[in-house]
Chains A and B, each alone.
Chain A
Amino acid sequence: SYVLTQPPSVSVAPGKTARITCGGNNIGSKSIHWYQQKPGQAPVLVIYHDSDRPSGIPERLSGSNSGNTATLTISRVEAGDEGDYYCQVWDTSSDPPYVFGSGTKVTVL
C-alpha cells in the first residue's frame, strides 16, 4: 500500500509561517488533499488537488506538491489554526485506494 509520511508535530509562533510536509514515493504525480481536525471535531477539507481551496478557507492556507514531498503552508498563523492536519491521496493502484498520512499536530506558541 502507498505510504504518506508526516512529522508528528510542528510548532509556530503567531504571525509566522508553518509548513507541514507529507512525503511519499513520487507523490508529485498524485493529487493530494489536506484536512484540518480540531479537538473533538470532524475533519474539514482545507486544500484539495494539491493547491485548491474550498470556499470559506482563507488564502493564508496554501498547498504545493512536487517530487516526493507535498507541503501545506499556513501563513500568518493564528491561534485558531491549532489542530491536527492530515494529507490524503486516492491511489487507484493501491490497496487500500484511500490513504491518509499519520497527521501533524500544529501548536501555536
Chain B
Amino acid sequence: EVQLVESGGGLVQPGGSLRLSCAASGFTFSSFWMHWVRQAPGKGLVWVSRINSDGSSTTYADSVKGRFTISRDNAKNTLYLQMNSLRAEDTAVYYCARKLDPMDSWGQGTLVSVSS
C-alpha cells in the first residue's frame, strides 16, 4: 500500500524557516517524480513544487521561487521542502503527492502557520 506521511509543520514567525519531510513507503520511491501542493485555510489546492525521480530537476511556483527548495533522499525514501523567508500567506496545509501526472497518491498533510 502506498503511504506518504508528512511532518515538520508548525508555528513559525514571519521571516523564519521550516523544513517539511514526506516519508514514502509501499512503492519504489526512486522511480517517481514528487510534488508539494498546499491549501490555505478554507481555500483551494495550489501546486508549489515538483522534483524528478533522481533529484536533478526541480520546478517551483513563482510565489515560492527563491525561498523554497525541494529535495529528496532516495536512500531514505524521503521528500523534503525547505521553506525560508516565510510569510503570512504561506500559511497552509502542505501535502506531498506522488507521480508526474496525475498526482495519484497524497499524504495527509502537515500544517504550517506563519504568524507573530
Contacts and interface: CB of A to CB of B under 8 A. Distances in A.
Main secondary structure of the interface of B (DSSP, over half): loop
Q: How large is the interface on A (under 10, 10 to 19, 20 to 34, 35 or more residues)?
A: 20 to 34
Q: How large is the interface on B (under 10, 10 to 19, 20 to 34, 35 or more residues)?
A: 20 to 34
Given A54-B104, A96-B61, A42 B45 contact: no
Interface stretch (A9-17, A19-27, A43-51, A65-73): A43-51
Nearest to A32: B102
B72 interface: no
B68 interface: no
B106 A43 contact: yes
Nearest to A96: B61
A97 B59 contact: yes
Interface of B: 35, 44-47, 50, 59, 61-62, 95, 100-109
